Amino acid sequence: MNSAENIFHKEIVVKSSTDNLSQIRDFTKAAAEFSGFSEETVGKIILAVDEACTNIIKHAYKNSPDGQIDLSIKLENGKFSISIIDHGVHFDPTRIPEPDLKEYYKQKRVGGLGMFLIKRLMDEVNYYTLSGNKNQVILVKYLSR
């Protein structure tokens, strides 16, 4: 593959409703398949993006469907990165501990599972605070791994 073929950039903007999760998954699936990932890895990427957007809908927008989620996916030199930006309430992901499933099960706490999954499914996960009270998470998967 030459460098020209190994670059693309796609974006969508959706409202913060769980109704839109299937559209988000379809968008992610098309981009990951186009980039040449295996079926298994495509599945991991789709789930990670679903989990990140679900967290935004539930925590940043507190289940209000009127918020905005900006998804941007690009492939560059084998690095597939998904930027997800919201304009909701900031939350610090580093303050959420990795779940102990037995403790979760006892306490009926289920919220932190998504964060844990994202870390397991992707090669890199980075959170940023942008100007204008925006939050960004960038999920990265490398084609070569």
| Nearest alpha-carbon partner for 141 in 6, 56, 35 | 35
Answer yes or no whether residue 51 interacts with other proteins by CB under 8 A.
Answer: yes
Question: Stretches 17-25, 65-73, 124-132, 137-145: which one binds other proteins (CB under 8 A)?
Answer: 17-25
Distance between CA atoms of 92 and 104, rounded to whole angstroms? 20
Answer yes or no whether residue 104 interacts with other proteins by CB under 8 A.
Answer: yes
- The H helix count followed by the E strand count for the chain is 4, 5
| Nearest alpha-carbon partner for 124 in 112, 139, 144 | 139
Answer yes or no whether residue 95 interacts with other proteins by CB under 8 A.
Answer: no
Among 7, 8, 13, 19, binds other proteins (CB under 8 A): 19
Per DSSP bridges, beta strands 124-130 and 134-142 are: antiparallel
Binding site for other proteins (CB under 8 A): 18-19, 21-22, 25, 40, 43, 46-47, 50-51, 54, 57-58, 101-102, 104-106, 108, 110-111, 113-114, 116-117, 120-121
